[in-house]
């Protein structure tokens, strides 16, 4: 059928930095050669340190811009596949990942985006996933990893859905890029579906390494204001006391951490006032 997708319609969008060769792709596909897949790499680098591909179906864009969301947007803009899979350079795919993705879009034709499952490198579920298909709302996309996202290229591009370049690693607020991307998808009346199929492995994130950092709390302050506006202050205080209760921070850190989160709120509000950012997803 003309509207059926094939595995060759899948393009993998890999964000990476400062690469000089393609060797990093080898462990991502332990069951096959990476050259068997359509891959678009955005390599954020400096001038005269470009990455080059000798494979026709492994394309490279060397970018001198910073930020993970910028990298994702460059990939989305230049991708040619009908189905696009968001990827990082440290993931490991399961042997049948591509077939699972294609089958899921065949079986759920109404979905513009499908979110899948990740296992840790210890072979455990990365998150507390549902056991059935779920049409997701703006709250339910909160825990989705970017590496779990596959999408229909034409529908996303038609609605001009992009990553918010103020959020994500290397940006002003280094968190929440996937959350606000998926919320923007839903805001544009496109459907985001969760399908309980494992497609990828990734090292388990250690919350103790991140939740006590100023960088994270500063970004989370901006996140809260973008989602809740005037109620963000209440949710920030609630978050700080959650961190205290879970022993991510000490009692003596409460004042400092609250000020960091408030600074995130203040700086995000300044972006809104300058009209360089919009509240809408």
Share of the chain above pLDDT 70, in %: 97
Reading phi first (left if > 0) and then psi (alpha if -120 to 50, else beta), residue 29 is in beta
Strand partners of residue 201: 92, 119
**Average pLDDT value for the chain:** 94
Average pLDDT over residues 239-268: 96
The confidence score (pLDDT) of residue 47 equals 83
- The whole-model pTM stands at 0.94
Average pLDDT over residues 3-23: 94
Residue with the bigger pLDDT between 204 and 235: it is 235
Residue ranges of the domains in the chain?
7-202, 207-273
Name the band, by pLDDT with cuts 50, 70 and 90, for residue 209.
low
Name the band, by pLDDT with cuts 50, 70 and 90, for residue 3.
low
E runs forming strands in 95-204: 113-120, 134-135, 149-152, 192-202
Q: Output phi, psi for 18, to 5 deg.
A: 55, 45
Residues 20-30 pLDDT 10s: 999 999 999 99
CATH number listed for the domain at residues 7-202: 3.90.550.10
Pairing of β 192-202 and β 113-120: parallel
Residue with the bigger pLDDT between 120 and 47: it is 120
């Amino acid at each position: 059928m003309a509207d059926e997708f094939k595995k060759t319609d899948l393009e993998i969008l890999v964000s990476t930095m400062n690469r000089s060769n393609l060797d990093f792709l080898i462990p991502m596909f332990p069951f096959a050669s990476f050259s068997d897949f359509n891959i678009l790499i955005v390599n954020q680098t400096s001038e005269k340190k470009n990455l080059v591909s000798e494979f026709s179906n492994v394309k490279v864009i060397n970018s001198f811009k910073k930020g993970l969301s910028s990298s994702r947007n460059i990939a989305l803009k230049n991708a040619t596949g009908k189905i696009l899979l968001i990827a990082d350079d440290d993931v490991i795919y399961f042997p049948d990942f591509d077939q699972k993705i294609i089958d899921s879009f065949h079986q759920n034709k109404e979905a513009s985006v499908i979110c899948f499952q990740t296992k840790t490198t210890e072979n455990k579920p990365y998150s507390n996933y549902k056991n059935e298909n779920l049409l997701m709302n703006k709250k339910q996309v909160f825990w989705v990893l970017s590496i779990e996202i596959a999408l229909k290229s034409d529908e996303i591009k038609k609605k001009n859905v992009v990553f918010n370049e103020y959020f994500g690693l290397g940006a002003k607020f280094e968190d929440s890029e996937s959350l606000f991307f998926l919320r923007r998808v839903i805001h544009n009346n496109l459907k985001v579906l969760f399908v309980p199929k494992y497609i990828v492995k990734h090292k388990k994130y250690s919350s103790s390494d991140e939740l006590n950092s100023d960088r994270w709390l500063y970004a989370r302050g901006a996140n809260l204001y973008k989602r809740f506006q005037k109620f963000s202050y209440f949710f920030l205080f609630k978050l700080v006391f959650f961190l205290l209760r879970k022993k991510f921070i000490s009692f003596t850190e409460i004042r400092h951490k609250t000020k960091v989160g408030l600074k995130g709120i203040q700086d995000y509000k300044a972006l809104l006032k300058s009209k360089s950012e919009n509240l809408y997803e």
